[in-house]
Each structure stands twice: as structure tokens, then as C-alpha cells.
Amino acid sequence: MKNSNSIWVVMMVFMLCIAPVFGQSTAKKNKIIADSKMAKVEFVKADALMKGLFEDAYGYVIFPNVGKAGFGIGGAAGNGVVYERGKIAGMAKLSQVSIGFQAGGQAYREVIFFEGKNDLERFKGSQFEFSAQASAVAVTAGASTNVKYAGGVMVFTMQKGGLMYEASVGGQKFQFNKL
């Protein structure tokens, strides 16, 4: 029984990680774009100071729906929209695998701000990933007050639902696709 649970978890993680690799239909892209606009509204609603970050950043990517699950081995995946100077520049895919103490599942939003053109170009070149040491700020009122760019990026997350206990090691990888 324990062996079949492990196999099920590994299969689930595998599916989470490869699902974003497959092509997206126009309807799906339009839904992701609409969801990213709503996520932006929700980020600003939670912390009004984020409005300035969206206006001042050279670019940003919004992942409106990231799903994460794990039991020992975990994974996360999501699709997002990349903005350059406030205009849509393309679509992005996020994937993550983690190993460690973790159990449960959750859904969250993530936004990554890029300080300058070179930072965004590195992301668009699909040569951008976060190590296990990278940290994100959980969005609450005033959370963005003292946050500064680190390596040309700032990351914010917002919990949508679910419950997950975690003390794991893993990193996020991204893939950019022009529209």
C-alpha cells in the first residue's frame, strides 16, 4: 500500500511538471491573460503600494494560478503572462520539483518584477531559474514597503487556497514563449 502511494505521488508530480510543456490553445491563452489581469488587481488590492511596482518595473510576469502538491516529493506548475513596459510580450511556464518534508497541496499566485531590460531579457531567453535559496514575499497590506530588487528581480506570492506543510529543497524553472 505504501509503495502504491509513492508511485501515485511520483506520477502526480511528473504530470504537474510536464503539463505546462504542451501547447496552449488560443482560448487557454486568453483565459490565462484574463486571469493575470485579475491577479494584478488582487495583488494591488492586498497591498496598494504594489501599484507603483507594476508601473515602475521594466517588466513583470504574473502566474495567476500555480498549483503545488507533494508528499515527500513535490511539484508545482503554472502558466503566466509576461509584460514588458506594461504591454504583453509573451507567455511563460513555471515548473518546480522539490524534495523534503512536505504534505498537501495549495494554489497561489506569483508575480516576478524585473528591474531592467537585461533582467527581463534573461527571463525571455528561458535562462532564468530560482534556486532553493530564493525567497518570495507573501503579499499582505504594506508587504512591499521595504522590498528591494535582488539580482534584478523581486518576487511576490499570494495564497489562494489549500494547505501544505513544507520544509523542502527545490527550485523554479521558467520557459518563455512569444505570442
User: Where are the chain's structural domains?
Assistant: 2-178
* Residues 16, 113: Cα–Cα separation, whole Å: 24
The pLDDT of residue 111 is above 80 = yes
* Residues 44, 94: Cα–Cα separation, whole Å: 22
pLDDT of 131-170, one tens digit each? 544 556 666 665 666 678 888 988 888 888 655 544 444 5
pLDDT of 75-99, one tens digit each? 889 999 999 999 999 999 998 887 7
The overall pTM is greater than 0.75? yes
What type of residue sits at position 138?
A
**H or E stretch at 10:** helix 2-18
